Amino acid sequence: MSYLIKAATLSDGAVVDILIADGKIARVAPDIQESNSQIIEASGLRALSGLVDLHTHLREPGREDSETIASGSLAAVRGGYTALSAMANTSPVADTAGVVEQVFRLGQAAGLCDVFPIGAVTQGLLGEQLAEIGAMATSSAKVRIFSDDGKCVSNALVMRRALEYVKSFNGIIAQHAQEPTLTVDAQMNEGEISSQLGLKGWPAIAEEAIIARDILLAEHVGSRLHICHLTTAGGVELVRWAKSRGINVTAEVTPHHLLLTDESVLGYDAVFKVNPPLRTEADVHALRAGLADGTIDIVATDHAPHPSEDKDCEWQAAAFGMLGLETALSVLVSTMVETQMLDWAHLERVMSHNPARIAGYESHGHPISEGKTANLILVDPSAKRVIDRNKMASKSRNTPYDGLTLPAVVTHTFFNGALVHEVDRGAAK
């Protein structure tokens, strides 16, 4: 099947036709004439490289009631993602070649997007013994990113060894920065709101202390460090400083930390419970500025599905995490593009090109040009939609944006040249 996309607007503003054939982008030119292809009228739509997520929780194996690799893949392509990175905190933990190969194969079987497993840094995410990182790297899943996400690799020696060990195959350690001794039973950002609500605080310093330590460790051993879900103004400053010293560190921010603050917690609705927690207005502004000036390299969803019983309860008993795949692009358009902090080209870099480059996903994250694998999306930037938690592709319902009107709809997603997602544009308006 070949497709001819007519009059799409590229991220640089050029209006072109795009011919997709045999899984590749066959031609990019104004006014292509080709009679054997399905025509997609894309006037007014943006064509972007398929989005790449470096931080996704898919819950399979172990908690298939909240998400499977197949349901997560469907959520991904609806949100414009053609590549996911499945975090290691499944049950069993993805700390062996067997588990990462299973996740990789299930992703291929679902066939909607690439699902690249992330390997655990330590056995069982316990932070004590290194997992078999080499075996995961040389497995058929070819793991390059290792993370104990959900838990911090808090022991400095373990972190040092992990950073050193992955150098042999140009791997990267993605750190969930949370000093555990400062966050025992922590429930939300420590500040004015936590003092009023009587919820135990998760102080910014607990994130920043680990970021500072790990930047110095990465410099010392000359390895690659990736900071997961940056949330604090101080963390942005530390990463900016590290980059100015030439240290090989990259950082991500989630859509929810660009939009929401700890004031959302005021009603104790556990849909706003997330780790790391929602921070203050000042932090949100610092994160936006950091993303705009390149300090923060990428947007990652930290898509974290949970069944309703784990959210429909008192705050303290609820699970941490929010859905993100199906709303990420809309939140970014709302917080960064409509505020003119990012243009479309920069948005495409932070949501597609940069994450693909960091992870080494070679068939993803290229500018739309002839000869590249056809992983691309079409977006209607003028469409608005009301987010409805009951209409998610995810098996879970824990979106914090239920009822919110957000801009931009992903109308088409192409994965390896196949049209894996299409919306009725009449209905989307």
- Minimal distance, residue 312 CB to other proteins, in Å: 6
283 binds other proteins (CB under 8 A): no
Residue where the block lists tokens 């009603």: 267
Among the listed residues 108, 196, 369, 382, the single contact to other proteins using CB under 8 A: 196
127 binds other proteins (CB under 8 A): no
What is the Cα–Cα distance from 141 to 102, expressed in whole angstroms? Answer: 9
- Minimal distance, residue 265 CB to other proteins, in Å: 9
Q: Among candidates 3, 27, 89, 29, which has minimal Cα distance to 302?
A: 89
3-state DSSP helix/strand/coil % of the chain, to nearest 5: 35, 20, 45
Task: Tell whether the torsion through CA atoms of 307, 313, 318 and 320 is positive or negative.
Answer: positive
- Whether 302 is a known active-site residue: answer yes
Separation in Å, CA 203 to CA 121, 337, 353: 25, 30, 32
What is the Cα–Cα distance from 283 to 241, expressed in whole angstroms? Answer: 17
Among the listed residues 135, 182, 197, 216, the single contact to other proteins using CB under 8 A: 197
Residue with smaller CB distance to other proteins, 65 or 312: 312
- Minimal distance, residue 203 CB to other proteins, in Å: 7
17 binds other proteins (CB under 8 A): no
Residue with smaller CB distance to other proteins, 192 or 388: 192
φ and ψ at 418, to 5 degrees? -95, 140
- Minimal distance, residue 158 CB to other proteins, in Å: 25
Cα 128–chain centre separation: 27
Residues of this chain, 313-332, that bind other proteins according to CB under 8 A: 313-317
Residue with smaller CB distance to other proteins, 222 or 267: 267
Residue with smaller CB distance to other proteins, 138 or 196: 196
Provide the pairing of β-strand 249-253 with 298-299: parallel
- Minimal distance, residue 267 CB to other proteins, in Å: 7
What is the Cα–Cα distance from 203 to 103, expressed in whole angstroms? Answer: 34
Residue with smaller CB distance to other proteins, 312 or 370: 312
Return the range that interacts with other proteins (CB under 8 A); candidates 140-148, 207-215, 261-269, 290-298.
Answer: 261-269
Residue with smaller CB distance to other proteins, 241 or 268: 268
Among the listed residues 60, 95, 149, 190, the single contact to other proteins using CB under 8 A: 190
31 burial via Cβ count (<10 Å: 0-12, 13-18, 19+): exposed
Question: DSSP characters for 133-157?
Answer: HHHHHHSTT---EE--TTS----HH
309 binds other proteins (CB under 8 A): yes
SS3 (DSSP) at 282: helix
Q: What letter does residue 320 receive in the DSSP assignment?
A: P
Among the listed residues 107, 171, 203, 367, the single contact to other proteins using CB under 8 A: 203
Alpha helices for 111-203 (secondary structure H): 133-138, 156-165, 192-197
- Minimal distance, residue 124 CB to other proteins, in Å: 21
What is the Cα–Cα distance from 38 to 151, expressed in whole angstroms? Answer: 47
- Minimal distance, residue 406 CB to other proteins, in Å: 24
| Identified catalytic residue from 17, 114, 297, 302 | 302
201 binds other proteins (CB under 8 A): yes
SS3 (DSSP) at 384: strand
Residue with smaller CB distance to other proteins, 241 or 315: 315
Tokens of 327: 């709303």
Among the listed residues 61, 92, 127, 191, the single contact to other proteins using CB under 8 A: 191
Binding residues for other proteins, rule: CB under 8 A, are 187, 190-201, 203, 267-269, 309, 312-317
Which residues are designated catalytic? 302
